[in-house]
Amino acid sequence: MTPPSGADTAASPATTEAVVDLRAIAHNVATIAATTEAAVMAVVKADGFGHGLVPIARTALDAGATWLGVTSAAEAMTLRAAGVDAPILTWLHRPDEDFRALIDAGVDISAASVEHVRGIAASASATRPATVHLKVDTGMSRNGAVPGEWPHLVDAAYDLERAGLLRVRGVWTHLATADEPERPETARQLAAFDDALKVASATGLAPALRHVANSAGALAVPESHFDLVRAGIATYGIEPVVGRAYGLRPAMTLRARAILVKRVPPGTGVSYGLDYTTTRPTTLVLVPLGYADGVPRNVAPAAEVWMRGRRHRIAGRVSMDQFVIDVGDTPATIGDEIILFGPGDRGEPTARDWAGWSDTNAHEILTRIGPRVPRRHIPASQRPPQPGPPRQRPPTKESPHV
Ligand SMILES: *Cc1c(COP(=O)(O)O)cnc(C)c1O
């Protein structure tokens, strides 16, 4: 599968924007779907990892995903209100929430305790049963019922299913170390999941969907696929296993335009604390994005951005709304395009690079991009920019209109 070529961002006049290439999202979902027989859930929580909930959901469904994953009722209802009628699973709830809107909207709800199945059933009725996925903790110790609680959860769910208030569609768990395929804990979690499935079927439950894999599991741990894989970060084009490439393509490009350019002498201190001092006559460029937009304040001195065909260092501290770059003798003018991160094929930094510079993961870099940054979506149907001038054939009588 050929990844789409780079988004042509240079033409955009926007002062700041996050360009989301939906062609890359479609490519990534198709790439994930091609690695498995299982169904693909596109995990679109946290506003589609910062890429825009509804456009990502629609694109992922068109590209072969059949499920959507979110963590809150608000996200699920936003999808339904936008007309998205695909199956949705939502998984972070208090047991005493009012689940009626979710049940009426046909949204599946995760339950990780007896209190949760009872709470969900309290919002259900025999004419409007809730559909649940029971979550087991197989070793991550985050969400899910521990093995000692699991039989009680399964029993409670079975009773409520018999009473007509619940339908148990899924049994699921989450892997803690799938992004490090050499670690032994994944196999232990899979064994614990098998035990949990045996308990469920011995009780009389027959869940149609068993699901375990996140992005790393989907791409690197075939034994974790079961009936459905839940792909988050891979959907957005970040390779989930360090050192391995599955042909994914980063979808987001974060860019801005220079709003001020100045020439300064050697010995000039820059930004709060004057931590950075110029060592020669140089040009400083002001970039109107800061930590309120999600640019990490704690970045290593090595942090770079892309301008005029090369990388330039960030000079001094990132402020709330702005930061400065030292571009040396590069000719710079107000309005110059500055790319903080993108797919990387021009040489610009990637979200992964920023993750390294600020000691976090690419998930956090993407999801922290704030609401003040406008998102612009390149449609999945738009043809990638062609290399070189288009060669036009003279129209013939038979040539159809395209
Ligand atoms: C966020 C999340 C995922 C997606 O994980 P990625 O590593 O981003 O693919 C899958 N399952 C659950 C339960 C999650 O919370």
Domains of the chain: 22-236 (3.20.20.10), 252-378 (2.40.37.10)
CB 59 within 8 Å of CB 25: yes
230 lines ligand 1 (CB under 6 A): yes
Distance from the alpha carbon of residue 32 to the mean position of ligand 1, in angstroms: 14
Distance from the alpha carbon of residue 214 to the mean position of ligand 1, in angstroms: 5
CB 52 within 8 Å of CB 79: no
Res 6: pLDDT: 54
Distance from the alpha carbon of residue 3 to the mean position of ligand 1, in angstroms: 23
4 lines ligand 1 (CB under 6 A): no
- What spatial distance separates the first Cα and last Cα of the chain, rounded to whole Å? 24
Helix (H) or strand (E) holding 284: strand 282-287
Which of 158, 198, 246, 272 does the annotation list as catalytic? 272
**Would residue 272 show up in a list of annotated catalytic residues for this protein?**
yes
The conformation of residue 185, written as its DSSP 8-state character, comes to H
170 lines ligand 1 (CB under 6 A): no
pLDDT lower than 70: segments of the chain? 1-10, 383-402
Q: Ligand 1 test: best mutation among 36, 72, 93, 214, most atoms within 8 Å of CB? A: 214
Res 382: pLDDT: 77
Distance from the alpha carbon of residue 113 to the mean position of ligand 1, in angstroms: 20
Spatial distance between the Cα atoms of 244 and 349, rounded to a whole number of angstroms: 18
Res 164: pLDDT: 98
CB 377 within 8 Å of CB 54: no
Spatial distance between the Cα atoms of 145 and 304, rounded to a whole number of angstroms: 44
Spatial distance between the Cα atoms of 102 and 107, rounded to a whole number of angstroms: 5
Res 7: pLDDT: 55
Q: Which residues pair with 277 in a beta bridge?
A: 269
**Burial class of residue 84, CB neighbours in 10 A (0-12, 13-18, 19+):** middle
β-strands 337-341, 304-307: how paired? Answer: antiparallel
- Which atom in ligand 1 lies closest to the alpha carbon of residue 143? 13
135 lines ligand 1 (CB under 6 A): no
pTM value is: 0.93
What size, in residues, is the chain? 402
Q: Which residue has the tokens 């989907």?
A: 218
**Would residue 397 show up in a list of annotated catalytic residues for this protein?**
no
Spatial distance between the Cα atoms of 16 and 287, rounded to a whole number of angstroms: 9
Spatial distance between the Cα atoms of 326 and 333, rounded to a whole number of angstroms: 13
- Which atom in ligand 1 lies closest to the alpha carbon of residue 235? 9
Q: How far is CA 268 from CA 105, 169, 194, 278, 401, in A?
A: 60, 64, 64, 5, 61
**Closest C-alpha to 69, from 83, 50, 86:** 86
- Which atom in ligand 1 lies closest to the alpha carbon of residue 231? 9
- Which atom in ligand 1 lies closest to the alpha carbon of residue 179? 7
Distance from the alpha carbon of residue 70 to the mean position of ligand 1, in angstroms: 9
Spatial distance between the Cα atoms of 231 and 64, rounded to a whole number of angstroms: 12
Distance from the alpha carbon of residue 43 to the mean position of ligand 1, in angstroms: 7
Q: Residue whose CA is closest, atom 6 of ligand 1?
A: 232
215 lines ligand 1 (CB under 6 A): yes
Torsion of CA 189, 142, 65, 97, to 10 degrees: 140
Other CB atoms within 10 Å distance of the CB of residue 208: 11
CB 314 within 8 Å of CB 323: yes
**Burial class of residue 207, CB neighbours in 10 A (0-12, 13-18, 19+):** buried
